[in-house]
Structure 1
Amino acid sequence: MAEILPFRKPKAAAKHHGKTLCRRGFHRWTVDRAQSFDVKQGKLVTVFRCERCGATKHQLL
Structure 2
Amino acid sequence: MGDVVPFKKPLRKSPNRGMCQHGFHKWVVCKEKQFDVKQGRLVTVYRCQRCGKEKVTAH
Shorter-chain TM band: 0.7 to 0.9
- Report SS of the residue matched to 1:22: helix
Tell me the percent identity: 46
Which has more radius of gyration? 2
- Which structure has more helix as a fraction of its residues? 1
Structure 2 unaligned blocks of 5 or more: 1-9
Aligned length: 50
- Would you say the 8 A contact 2:34–2:42 is kept in 1? yes
Structure 1 unaligned blocks of 5 or more: 1-10
Provide the TM-score with structure 2 as the length reference. 0.75
Query: Which residue, 32, 35, 48 being the options, matches 2:33?
Result: 35
Moved over 3 A (4+): none
- Report SS of the residue matched to 2:46: strand
